Amino acid sequence: MTGEYDRPRAARGGVRLHLNENTAGCSPAVLRALRSVTERDAAFYPDYDEAYAAVARAFDVPEDQIVLTNGLDEGILTATAAAFRDRGNGVPEGLGVFPAFDMYEVCTEALGGRMVMLPLGPDYSYPWNALGSGVNERTRIVYVTNPHNPTGHALALDDIVALSRAITPVMLFVDEAYADFTGETLLARETFAELPNIVVGRTFAKAHGLAGVRVGALFGHPETLAPIRRIVLPYTLNIFATVALPVALADREYRDWYAAQVIESKRMLREACARLGFGVSRSAANFVLVNVGDHARWLVEALAARQVFVRDRSSDPGCAGCIRMTTGLVSDTERLVAAMEEAWCGAPR
Ligand SMILES: *Cc1c(COP(=O)(O)O)cnc(C)c1O
């Protein structure tokens, strides 16, 4: 890691299975709403009332416990910035696991902090006790991801709650970027009055297909969110995000249809991997981590040559041999499986 996020590339027109996007695109209703934006809408600063009301309704959370952000990446950045405002004990630290989503480390370092990372345990299990005891007087924020990225593993909500109690008052950032694919969320179970040090992050980039529109949300106790609210820029969501979000949240039918595609794609990919002798993580999300053994980098390139783009994770610590593959539209997964089977026949032995 160089401290700067390295944007993975893919040629245009290929099958993009490297960034866990919604490979079907946003809902048709969202596209209609985006097209309805007028000259004046573009000219005026957006009003966020409808977007906040829609999120409050969809998650059954009061508006004062919500901050909308320009993607969850901005949520991670601003929550970290808020946590780092207390510089009492020298260089502030973020604590997390590896392998994990890159942005925790990127944001921690960008804001002048130091990232401390503990390895996942056997079978990629979360090191709950080590995380709890890894907090020291410099730790300002602890990051967990549920379901985890890149493994797709679902965490037990009880373990998250226990960690938050153990590390109070240090902020626990619970990244629920893929929770739409499991339906399991702290938001449905816990109240922030009980757990004031938790900030839950959600994105509409993955299940809702709004990665290009950029919109995410943070949830937490109003007092925990107050310093974050001051850091998030007043017009951080543009007009398209503002218009798209309520429509996307309302179109449950589209989301359910896509979630069913993801489940079928995971089944197909697991079967194909079993035929090819690859290991597959048990994922609750819209991607799986596939362990192909010795030729991960070679296979990623062989797939790219066939216009199928997947994410090489094999050089991540603890991920030797691993490739992360998005499981989206069934037709995309069919192309992935066909390309994998064809390519693997020619693998160096
Ligand atoms: C994709 C992803 C995000 C970022 O979401 P954006 O809304 O696109 O910024 C955050 N956390 C995790 C774990 C992700 O995989």
Helix, strand, or coil (residue 330):
helix
Q: Sheet containing 93-98: give its strands across.
A: 66-69, 216-220, 198-203, 171-175, 139-145, 93-98, 114-119
SS3 content of the chain, % helix, strand, coil (to 5): 45, 15, 40
Write phi, then psi, for 2 (nearest 5 degrees).
-100, 0
The pLDDT tens digits of the residues spanning 84-133 come to: 998 778 899 999 999 999 999 999 999 999 999 999 999 999 999 999 99
Q: What is the mean pLDDT of residues 43-67?
A: 97
Checking if the pLDDT of 198 tops 80, the result is: yes
Q: What are phi and psi of 44, to 5 degrees?
A: -100, 150
Which residue owns the Cα nearest ligand 1 atom 7? Answer: 71
Determine the residue of 22, 67, 70, 72 to mutate for testing ligand 1's pocket, defined as the one with the most ligand atoms within 8 A of the Cβ atom.
72
Using the predicted structure, report yes or no on whether residue 8 has a pLDDT greater than 90.
no
Q: What pLDDT shows up at residue 2?
A: 57
Q: Which atom of ligand 1 is nearest to the CA of 145?
A: 13
Q: Looking at ligand 1, which residue's alpha carbon is closest to its atom 11?
A: 177
Mean pLDDT over residues 289-299, rounded? 95
pLDDT at 119: 96
CB-CB contact of 173 with 196 (8 Å): no
CA of 7 to the centre of ligand 1 (A): 13
Provide residues with CB under 6 Å of ligand 1. 20, 71-73, 101, 145, 149, 175, 177, 203, 205, 211, 216
Q: Indicate if the pLDDT at residue 1 is higher than 70.
A: no
Atom 12, ligand 1: residue with shortest CA distance: 177
The residue among 187 and 87 whose pLDDT is bigger is 187
> In this predicted structure, what is the pLDDT of residue 53?
98
Ligand 1 centroid distance, CA of 207 (Å): 11
Find out whether 96 and 142 touch, Cβ atoms under 8 Å.
yes
Nearby residues of 227 by Cβ (< 8 Å), 6 or more positions away: 82, 85
87 vs 283 pLDDT, higher one: 283
For position 144, what pLDDT does the model report? 98
pLDDT of residue 191: 82
Are 66 and 56 contacting, i.e. CB atoms less than 8 angstroms apart? yes
- The residue behind tokens 């994998």 is 340
- Rounded CA-CA distance 72/80 in Å is 12
